[in-house]
Structure 1
């Protein structure tokens, strides 16, 4: 059953990887004077990437008939709302000082534009699937300290530079003319004549490499040096941790095994090595076994989701400005991997001798989706109140609900049924006693929270340098394209999490604390808490984001992402600890 699920997901991955965003379904080839449409996307404050609005929410020139471009699911989730722009950029046709329109701006319009300029509003357009940006205007401070003395200038003329190779568009850029700007500092009605110009230039850049321009920033030597420094730092951390763990296994455990094999009757020796002393309790099933199984099911699904996303990234699906491809892949793959969650959770729950596997399956389905859905409802309400493009249309919400109803839920149930029919028994090398042994009084630093702090710090230190580039890409305007380095960092994160959790599990058992099940999950997932702490640092110290909407979106969705990391890495920590505990207790003779 599991092989069929994985095979289905891989088949969909191949389908997604074969898709590319095409301009109006064409092959991007044009003849001289052919009409190539320019689509206006959105406007918004430059420092608030989530707070974007429809292009014509601003008093710009608009065509007689505004045509909306049909968008895929991922584009809508990304906040894209493409509409036809009034600019005529016919293929290889130069224009000089072409009048766009004469527009009368009322006081309300002037006030709106002035507020937009003060917040560094930018606009985004797409021409032949190539993104282009420009600013609405600028604030002329002229060495004045008092904001009331600033001048607010509205750009009324923009110039398009377009490069072409044979019959295809290669590159486009826009420049605003600061010498052709209108002073809108005062609240008064004005008439503005908007204009534009177009200059076509031939280039030798091939069509296949036209997207490389957008990925240069992340692959510059300076940035590559920092990326590789991050990997070297992480590798050193892994090597040190591996050596530390090897020392434990080679010296401490080897000495313990020798003691047990030569003098198993000695009570003193048993007292010295506490982990042998609690062999009758170490495989006692954890409390709240239904919740524990649901955590493992959801964590396993999220781990599979991350691996499949990396596979798509490594084959080049998420090239720069492949609009919405990442969001589409996340929705589709999460729906298809729900069977993995159902199978893992139900199988583990029944191994724990649970009886109500249906309730456990419902808990598994809601454990991650529930908080995510509640967060989405709140943030979507905020976006509606702001009239932002981040507010999803009713049709898109209906599509997501249909995917959850017709794909996610049935696969979750099928996975649960497969897990129930597998009838696997929990493999415990030692028999569990009837009554649990009392855990001795332990010092404060062996408590759950101090252990979580120790467990989360090392994995976080291995990835924190790379986190800045990821945050700058997701919550800024930088482009991240070096997925091979990111995948290496992800593998290092998994390894470090597994190693540190195993080490802390051994220390816990050595002091005769047999309640290691939940501790291994909490210690493994504690990196998610550190990542959320980094979110606080990034928002207040490294970014210029502001406003209630942007703050809500940043912390709301980052809390969901960090929660997902907690589930995923918690599952990794438990699985590694379970393998370790089984190994050491299988290597000794337990009565």
Structure 2
């Protein structure tokens, strides 16, 4: 697959993802008095965004005509959305005051469910004309104990009235706000039975906000625009600091390299060998291009990392084009699934071509390794997490039909494209063309101090790139694992590009220092050092969980640490491939610049 073919494949992937992401975007119009449907989505503890349950798991009022489930897209199902009809009856431009939803006699079991929900700060989510609204089930109040010396008791109040404020422009719904009446509550703290009447009211108000800007409200509710100047200042400060450090190290490295070139070029080859003057990275010229062990796995890592990098760049292109607006039906998750399937050919081609160039012969094994390198661990993690979600009965458990769809996508798109890419890669005519001839037997590597070993080098390599992104990580985590909205993709794209640049440079610097002490095993080290930023990101996951969030429980912790482990694994593969490509270009350059034979 030549470069133009790669570009065409990426373009088609981008167009397909954009079409899928934009599919279903409708401009609803209503006539006066026409019913506007309200769909209930889910309920769950506010502190645990993944632990969500179907709306009618709690004993709310059911529709008289029976429940109806709304068809959902792949991204919505992956996000845990389960939209179901409600008994609310709202008609366009028709106000209501104190309408009765239903009257229920709640028994002890029903009250226990509501008590648990109120105590755990449950919220609910609904959709009106595609606009999300949220509210709480009830509230908890601390009351002083009537008996001296005893702890304060809790009063659990269930909200029984909901008020809808709906803004309209012409024949379209523009904005919906929801509120509860604190005077209309029922004390469910200790009751065994309760007669509860659920009511609602609706107020329609005109507005000048155009339809195409109605989603801007949700971006404004994010903490990002409210602190936009502080956010930009923090990012710029972090980026300038990292770039200054990078430039400082680059200057030193260039100066050292210049001195090395002068020294090696001025020495006569025969005299240098006889007098033992040849030292440093020139001394290992006969081993530096000796291919690494575990060649099949090495090539699969580079190929899969390249695929993830291309997929990330396409996602950024779509986000900068405004494809991913808030609450657009899981468009980003749909794009991720589709793009991963469509870019599988890139992984197959890069891995197989590199494997062929380095002398590999078992290309079938290479294709299978490339296919399962990321999908295998992801499948194992998904199986565990889906089982946990199924045991808890949450909406995070994927339905059987959705699992079948994903398996079919993998079997009919991902795997065949990987095989096609692998076939094209194994038929490549390219050659490695090392600037130095490799000796028959490898040189013995001198004893190295502890800080020259792999793990300390990885820690040093990962710190600088992580320092360039750690400020942005909080905003991303608060969006993915919280209830905030992330909308400023331009900042994120700048940070991502800086991450790639810094990763490439720091890997080059450590590769030079490794060769300078006559250690020629740089192949795997470049991947380890390049991908080591993922270790810092996963360490940050623990900090965020314990210090910056209120998440708790086995189910939420399993999803949080499980899926973040897979995200960090993907980062490791992507940045590892970046580190290897940068190091390979650097090593080729320095050994071409001097005469080694």
CA contact (8 A) 1:343 1:416 kept: yes
Matches within 5 A, 1:18-29: 18=19, 26-29=26-29
Aligned to 2:199: 195
Quote the offset at 1:273 in angstroms: 3.7
**Distance in 2 (alpha carbons) for counterparts of 1:270 and 1:308:** 52
Query: Which residue of structure 2 lines up, in the alignment, with residue 102 of structure 1?
Result: 103
**CA separation of 1:12/1:293 partners in 2, compared to 1, >3 Å: closer, same or farther?**
closer
How far apart, in 2, do the equivalents of 1:323 and 1:218 lie?
22
Which residue matches 2:285? 279
Q: 2:154 matched to which residue of 1?
A: 150
In structure 2, do the counterparts of structure 1 residues 541 and 248 end up closer, same or farther at CA, with 3 Å as the change threshold? same
Are 2:496 and 1:490 aligned?
yes
Q: Choose the corresponding residue for 1:297, options 300, 303, 320.
A: 303
- Rounded Cα–Cα distance in structure 2 between residues aligned with 1:247 and 1:234: 20
Query: Which of structure 1's runs of 4+ aligned residues deviate more than 4 A?
Result: 18-23, 143-148, 267-272
Say whether residues 1:73 and 2:74 are aligned partners: yes
Query: What is the CA distance between 1:165 and its match in structure 2?
Result: 1.0
Cα displacement (A) at 1:418? 0.5
Q: 2:564 maps to what in 1?
A: 558
After superposition, the C-alpha distances for 1:143-183 in whole angstroms (9 at most, x for unaligned) are 66977710100000010111111111111011011110000
1:175 pairs with one of 179, 202, 206: 179
Residue 13 (structure 1) shift: 2.3
Looking at structure 1, the residues matched to 362 and 522 of structure 2 have their Cα atoms a distance apart, in angstroms, of 24
Structure 2 alignment gaps of length 5 or more: none
- Residue equivalent to 2:239: 234
Query: How big is each residue's C-alpha offset from its partner over 1:176-199, in whole Å with a ceiling of 9 and x where there is no partner?
Result: 111100000114021210000001
Change (3 A) 1:588 1:377: same
Counterpart of 1:212 in structure 2 is 216
Is 1:262 matched with 2:263? no
TM-score, normalised by the number of residues in structure 2: 0.96
My pick for the range that moved more, 137-146 or 322-331, is 137-146
Q: Which runs of 5+ in 1 are unaligned?
A: none
After superposition, residues 371-520 of structure 1 pair within 5 angstroms as 371-520=377-526
CA distance in 1, matches of 2:559, 2:135: 24
* Secondary structure of the structure 2 residue equivalent to 1:408: helix
Whole-angstrom distance in 1 between the partners of 2:276 and 2:35: 85
| 1:159 is aligned to 2:155 | no
Change (3 A) 1:26 1:573: closer
8 Å contact kept, 1:305–1:334: yes
Q: Retained in 1: the 8 A contact 2:157–2:188? A: yes
Whether the 8 Å CA contact 1:235–1:492 is kept in 2: the answer is no
How big is each residue's C-alpha offset from its partner over 1:15-65, in whole Å with a ceiling of 9 and x where there is no partner?
A: 443456687x75211111111111000000001010000001110001021
Q: Helix, strand or coil: the match of 1:430?
A: coil
Q: What SS is found at the alignment partner of 1:343?
A: helix
For this pair of structures, how many residues does the alignment match?
Answer: 589
Alignment-derived partner of residue 122 in structure 2 = 121
Instruction: Give the alignment's TM-score, normalised by structure 1.
Output: 0.97
Contact 1:101 1:195 in 2 (8 A): yes
What CA distance in whole angstroms lies between the structure 1 residues aligned with 2:86 and 2:150? Answer: 37
Change in 2 beyond 3 A, CA 1:52/1:414: same
1:523 aligns with 2:529: yes
